[in-house]
Structure formats: structure tokens, C-alpha cells
Amino acid sequence: MTADTITAVDTRINARWIIPIVPSGTVLNEHALLIQGDRIEAILPQAEADQHYRARETLNLNDHVLLPGLINAHGHAAMSLMRGMADDLPLMTWLNDHIWPAEAKFVSPEFIADGTRLAIAEMLRTGTTCFSDMYFFPEVAAQTASDVGIRSQICFPVLDFPTAWGDGPDDYLRQGADLIDQWQNHSHVRIGIGPHAPYTVSDGPIRDLIRLSDDKQVPIQIHLHETAFEVADALEKSGTRPSQRLAELGLLTPHTQCVHMTQVDSTDLMLLAESGAHVVHCPESNLKLASGFCPVDKLQKAGVNVSIGTDGAASNNDLDLFGELETAAMLAKAVAEDAAALSAHQALAMATINGARAMGREKDIGSLETGKMADVIAIDLSDPFNQPIYDPASHLVYSQHGRQLSHSWIGGVPQVQDGKLTRIDVPDLMLKVSHWAKRIRQG
């Protein structure tokens, strides 16, 4: 560009701070972010933007920090309709005696449509612009996410037993393969394979789904080493740790996202680091179900990519990734017995670029860089409880929660403006949610 060239762009955002995530630890002051179409055109000092760009629309966010949209790398979106339904229980009691019976009774395409929309509303309001889902009727979740315009990774479930969505593994894999073909090349929706856990999927279906993942080049996401009981039970029944069994089957690769990993011995650490598999840390679900503590600092020091997820709203009980980051940072320090473990900047990277890497989407999302998708969020730090401000990254992780979000864009399209959702009819959604609550309450 020569000194007098003026480039026209769609949107200019003037922000007090920008934390682009890449390069790591950077905080830009008084910069402008320019959006053309669905991508970031440039990020530069505001005085330079005045000279070189003319925008159709300019937004002045003088008390705000801009960040890449957050990436919630694990959840069960429609379980938002079961928020607070079964609290204060350990994982297997929670699943066997409460969640699975409720799912058998209520899960349907309508339940998924309404529950997923409720989860998306909450995620958008609190800064998430891309989420991963593992739940029933994934075709409905994918359509709902696409209709709203949020980015997603929709993992279709694979289990040994029948559910409302299918007869068993062969049926899940057949429907899943069709789903992959249907959504191939979609800008926002990606399909993944979601074997539920080592204790619910046997070797045959695991081999089949690895073949499907290789053929179609799609990611695999699995709950793994969620509790000490899971590992001890597998050792007692087969003499093998679940991680070892999955590695021997060929499941641990750079396409694999291992959710939870609260139990990590030296062999597990080596398997994860050498395979290039990713970890999705879900600290609040792990705390609430008393599942255990993921050793985030140890994993990161071994070179394992650690992303973050909320898990479902029935075990969290919210989908606010900023709150999750605060918990993650506190917990990492306690587990490592090191106050320097998981700094604020490292935590923000976990919810952005690390999530993008886990999903194989780091070329397009996860940081604010020229040429990347314009998935951008703005957090308003003007409230008294955020004053004074020495380092905005500190407040994002340790002080504010996601409700301070004022704006978000996904691929340049506004999703939240002045704290209001632009593409979800909230009153209509609330009516649907109260209908489900009434039915679930009646049992």
C-alpha cells in the first residue's frame, strides 16, 4: 500500500485494548481492527487507520478489550435443558440414575433444537463464537448452529447400545458418515466423531470409527480418564489403562481430542505427547462431579496442547467460558503448587488458539491476525469492579465474567450488539424452555 492509498472496508472497531493472542502475551493500546467481508483486513494504530482506511461503519469501544472469540472445546449443548436437575452427585450415579433415564424419556429432535438454541444463546452472550458438541440428533444440532451462525464442531455419538438417535454402533456410524458428507465444506459447521468413552464403546466400533476418521479426515472426540474409578475399573477388568488400550487401537493421533484426563501417569503423559493428541480440560465439571484434577501445567510442559470446555450445563452449571478460565487458572496453580502455573495470558490462549488447534482450525480462527476469520468479541471493562486496570488480561481471567461482553462478530456478522443477541428470538426461546421445564418437572 502506498502512503495515499485509501482502502474501503466494511467495519472499523476502535478499541482501548486488543489482545490478539498471537503473538502471545501481547496487549495493543488504542488500535483499530478492520473487517472486510468475513475476514480481518488489518490491525493497526488508530492514527494509521485514519490515513489508510475508510470504513462503512465505525464503532468506538473506548473502555473495551477486543479478543478472538472464545472456543468451547467440549459440551453437550442441549443438556442446558437439564441445568440444575441433578446436582451434588458423583459421575456414575449422576449418569446412571439421573441423566441417562431423563435422556431416555425426553431426548427428541425438538428437545435438541430448543436445548441447543438455549446453549448457543448463553455461549454467545458470554463470548463463545465456536463450540464443540457431542450429543444425540447431531443433524438437528448442526442445523441449529448453522441457522444462528455460530461456528461449531458437531460430534455424532457412538456407543455400544441403542439410544433415541439410533440402534447401535453400525447405525451411528452410517448416519454419521452421511452427516460428514452433508456438511463437508460448510463455512461454520464441521462434523466430528464422538465415541462416548472407553467404558461405553468396545474395540470393534472403535476400529470402525478410526477408519471413518481416516477416510474423511474428521476429528474424534472422546471422554477419557475422567475419574480414577474409570481407570481402576478398566485395569481390573482388562489389565490395561484406557489410554493404553486406545493407543494400541490407533485412536490417539493429532486428530483426537481427549476430554477430561484427570488421571495422567508418566505413561499417559508420554502417549499424549508422542501421539500429538489434544486434551480438553473441563475444570468446573470435574470439580462439581468430584471427578479429579487435570494436571494442566504438567501436560503443557510436556508439549501437550490443552484446550478448555465447559462440558454440559447439567454438570457445570453454566456455559460461561470466562468463568471456566478463572477456575482453570486457580486450579492449575493449586494442582502444580505453583502460583505461576497457567498465567492469565496462558489461560486466554487455552480458550482461543489452543481450542482452534485441537479442532484443526488454527489457520482460520483462535487469534486476531490479518487474514483470519473476523470472529471477534468485545468486553466492556468500565464497571467499578474492574477498576483500576493495570493489565486487561488479568481482569478477563481473574475479575470479570462473560456477562461483561458487549459485542461479538462471527465471520464479520454481528451476533451480539450492546449485550443483545441479534439472531435469536429470546422471548420465543424462553417460552419453549419453560414448556420443557414443565414436562421434565412432571417426570
Neighbours of 370 (CB within 10 A): 13
**Binding of residue 311 to ligand LTUXU72L (CB under 6 A):** yes
Could you tell me the smallest distance in angstroms from the CB atom of residue 103 to ligand LTUXU72L? 5
User: 128: which strand partners?
Assistant: 70
- Is 103 assigned a ligand-binding role in the annotation? yes
Show the cell assigned to 191. 462434523
Residues shown for the chain: 443
Q: Which of Zn ion, ligand LTUXU72L, none interacts with 151 (beta carbon under 5 to 8 A by kind)?
A: none
Does 395 appear as a known binding residue? no
In the complex, what is the shortest distance from the CB of residue 409 to Zn ion, in angstroms, rounded to a whole number? 28
Our finding on whether 135 is near ligand LTUXU72L (CB under 6 A) is yes
Phi, psi of 71 (to 5 degrees): -120, 110
| Residue 316 contacts ligand LTUXU72L per CB under 6 A | no
* Nearby residues of 336 by Cβ (< 8 Å), 6 or more positions away: 295, 296, 297, 298
Classify burial at 37, counting beta carbons within 10 Å of its beta carbon; exposed 0-12, middle 13-18, buried 19 or more: exposed
Span of 133-141, 268-276, 392-400, 425-433 interacting with ligand LTUXU72L by CB under 6 A: 133-141
Residue 118 and residue 80 in contact, taking contact as beta carbons nearer than 8 Å: yes
Backbone angles phi, psi at 413, to 5 degrees: -95, 125
| Residue 76 in marked binding region | yes
Task: State which of residues 226, 230, 364, 380 lies at the interface with ligand LTUXU72L (CB under 6 A).
Answer: 226
Q: How far apart are the C-alpha atoms of 145 and 133, rounded to whole Å? A: 10
Choose the one of ligand LTUXU72L, Zn ion, none that binds residue 12, judging by a C-beta under 5 to 8 angstroms depending on kind: none
Stretch that binds ligand LTUXU72L, among 24-32, 138-146, 189-197, 418-426 (CB under 6 A): 189-197
Q: Under the criterion CB under 6 A, does residue 315 sit at the interface with ligand LTUXU72L?
A: yes
Name the residue among 200, 182, 199 with its Cα closest to residue 191.
182
Confirm whether residue 98 is marked as ligand binding.
no
| 3-state SS assignment for residue 130 | strand
Q: Does 76 participate in binding ligand LTUXU72L (rule CB under 6 A)?
A: yes
Sheet of strand 220-224, all strands in order from the earlier edge strand to the far edge: 70-72, 128-134, 151-158, 189-195, 220-224, 256-260, 278-281, 306-308
For residue 304, count CB atoms less than 10 angstroms from its CB and return exposed for 0-12, middle for 13-18, buried for 19 or more: buried
Asked if residue 151 binds ligand LTUXU72L (CB under 6 A), the reply is no
**CB nearer Zn ion, residue 316 or residue 415:** 316
State the residues that interact with Zn ion by CB under 5 A.
311
Q: Of these partners, Zn ion, ligand LTUXU72L, none, which one is at the site of residue 300 (CB under 5 to 8 Å by kind)? A: none
DSSP annotation of 364: T
Among 44, 65, 159, 277, which residue interacts with ligand LTUXU72L (rule: CB under 6 A)? 159
Q: Cα-flanking dihedrals φ and ψ of residue 173, to 5°? A: -70, -35
Give the integer Cα–Cα distance in Å for 125 and 421. 7
Residues 6+ apart with CB under 8 A from 140: 109, 112, 113, 116
Q: Is 154 within 8 Å of 137 (Cβ atoms)?
A: no
The yes or no reply on residue 116 touching ligand LTUXU72L (CB under 6 A) is no
* 281 is annotated as contributing to ligand binding: no
Number of residues near ligand LTUXU72L (by CB under 6 A):
19
Span near ligand LTUXU72L by CB under 6 A; candidates 194-202, 378-386, 391-399, 432-440: 194-202
What is the contact surface with ligand LTUXU72L in residues (CB under 6 A)? 76, 91, 95, 99, 103, 134-136, 157, 159, 194, 196-197, 223, 226, 285, 311-312, 315
Q: From the annotation, which residues make up the binding site? A: 74, 76, 103, 196, 223, 226, 311
| Known binding-site residue numbers for substrate | 103, 196, 226, 311
